[in-house]
Structures are given as structure tokens and as C-alpha cells.
Amino acid sequence: QVQLVESGGGVVQPGGSLRLSCAASGFDFSFYGMHWVRQAPGRGLEWVAFIRYDGTNEYYADSVKGRHTMSRDNLKKILYVEMNSLRAEDTGIYYCAKDLLRGGAYPSYLDFWGQGTLVTVSS
Amino acid sequence: EIVMTQSPAALSVSPGERATLSCRASQSVGRNLVWYQQKPGQAPRLLVYGASTRATGTPPRFSGTGSGTEFTLTISSLQSEDCAVYFCQQYNDWITFGGGTKVEIK
């Protein structure tokens, strides 16, 4: 069965950096685009970024563009997001999620989600 | 950016009664709309895709309708395990989520 396990969350000061990881299993990781989605405490969902199945393109929400960088290692089946210049508004649970479409070049919808990792940006 | 607006923000329904959740898009998204269910402390779970197709494991009491800018998720006979927050999401133009509707048992 599909499993996505995030790690790397924690408390970081404003302006700091953090790298999140997501270990995938139970599906052909290298054939599917992947997403990061975040959820501020008690709030709704915000799409953060998407990376193509082959890692050749990434797409970002305006709120993180230029600060966050998504990447993937298809051999290790791990997804990453490097988050820099962190702000208080980046606080929340970060979920990695699998895109539905096999070989999709653009984001569609998310058919499996991990349990998330909490990022807290605070001084 | 396509803005997704869900209503109501919260809904209290008696067991066995019908719950109707709405999702409106600021411009047409065709049928490129999905619904997720999120229970407390859990990740969202895909419920309906393509506006009306139930995902694997979604009980038949859940039904999605609509196209263009107006969508509805109906729970025909509310069960206690349906207490959750429901989000809609469009994927016609990148990805945006609605703010969610919290469904509670009356």
C-alpha cells in the first residue's frame, strides 16, 4: 500500500532554514508527480509546490516562490523541500502527497497523503 | 488565481439526516474538482474526484455534483464517523483549495 512518511519538521527562528523529507513506498515513485501542501494551525489547506515525476520541473505557490526549493531522489524514493528565509506565516503542518496522474507534467489532484510534519517559525 | 469559496463554514446535522455542502469557484473549472475529508489529527483523504466520481473506499452515501463554478457534496444519511472538515480543490488552473466546511453531529 502507498506510504508517505514526512520528517524534518521542528522549531526554527524567523529567517532560518529547514529541510523536510518524505520517504515514499508502495508505488512507482519515479512515475508520479509529488506535492507539498501545508496547513496552518486550525486553518485550511494551502498548496505549496509540485515537482514533475522526473524532477525536471517544479512549480511553486507565490507565497513561497524564491524561498522554497523542491527536489526528489527517484533512486532513494525520497522527496525534499528546502525552506529558506522562513517567516511566521510558514508555520504549519507540511504534508507530502502523491499526484494521481502517472507521468503527469502538471499538478492535478492528490490521491494519497502523508501524516505531515510540523514546522514552527518563532523566535 | 481561482478562488474557491465553501459554504457554510460549519454544519450541524442530526444522525441519518442529509448534509449538503457547497463549493463555488471564481471562474469555471469544468469538472476538475475534488473533495477531501479531514478528520481531527489526520491527513486529508480523497473522497470524490472529477466532481462526481467516488474514490476507492468512499461510501455510496457521499455524492458529488456540479460543473463550471458550482459544486455540491451531499451526505445522504449522516453517520457519526462523517464528522470531519470537508475541503474542495480545483485543478483546472494549478491548485487551490476552499476554506473547508466542518460537519458536526447535532
C-alpha cell recorded at residue A77: 524514493
pLDDT at A104 over 90: no
- Give tens-digit pLDDT for A107-123: 898 999 999 999 999 99
The pLDDT value given to residue A42:
85
Distance of CA A23 to the CA centre of its chain: 11
Q: For position A106, what pLDDT does the model report?
A: 87
CB A31 within 8 A of CB A80: no
Q: Which of B43, B45, B55 sits opposite A114 (nearest CB)?
A: B43
pLDDT in tens, A4-53: 999 999 999 999 999 999 999 999 999 999 999 999 988 899 999 999 99
Q: Facing residues of B70 across strands?
A: B24, B67
Chain A contact present for B96, CB below 8 A: yes
> What are the backbone angles phi and psi of residue B83, rounded to the nearest 5°?
-65, 120
Task: Tell me chain B's radius of gyration from C-alpha atoms.
Answer: 13
At A58-97, the pLDDT tens digits run 999 999 999 999 999 999 999 999 999 999 999 999 999 9
- Nearest CA to B4 among B84, B57, B59, B73? B73
Instruction: Note whether A50 contacts B: Cβ–Cβ < 8 A.
Output: yes
Q: Which residues of chain B neighbour A99 with C-beta distances below 8 Å?
A: none
pLDDT in tens, chain B (106 residues): 999 999 999 999 999 999 999 999 999 999 999 999 999 989 999 999 999 999 999 999 999 999 999 999 999 999 999 999 999 999 999 999 999 999 999 9
Q: What is the pLDDT of residue A105?
A: 83
A59 interfacial to chain B (CB closer than 8 Å): yes
Minimum-distance CB partner of A108 among B42, B91, B100 = B91
Residue from B95, B96, B97, B102 whose CB has the most chain A CBs within 10 Å, to mutate: B95
In whole angstroms, what is the distance from residue B89 CA to residue A64 CA? 19
Pick the residue from chain B with its C-alpha nearest to A116.
B43
| A115 vs B32, B34, B43: nearest CB | B43
Structural contact between residues A122 and A13, judged by C-beta atoms closer than 8 angstroms = yes
Cβ–Cβ contact B49 with A under 8 A: yes
Got the DSSP string for B34-98? EEEEE-TTS--EEEEETTTEEPTT--TTEEEEEETTEEEEEESS--GGG-EEEEEEE-SSS-EE-
Residue B61 at interface with chain A, using a CB cutoff of 8 Å? no
Q: B-chain residues within 8 Å CB-CB of A41? A: none
- Among chain A residues, the shortest Cα distance to B46 is held by A111
- Beta carbons of B89 and A114 less than 8 Å apart: no
Q: Which residues pair with A75 in a beta bridge?
A: none
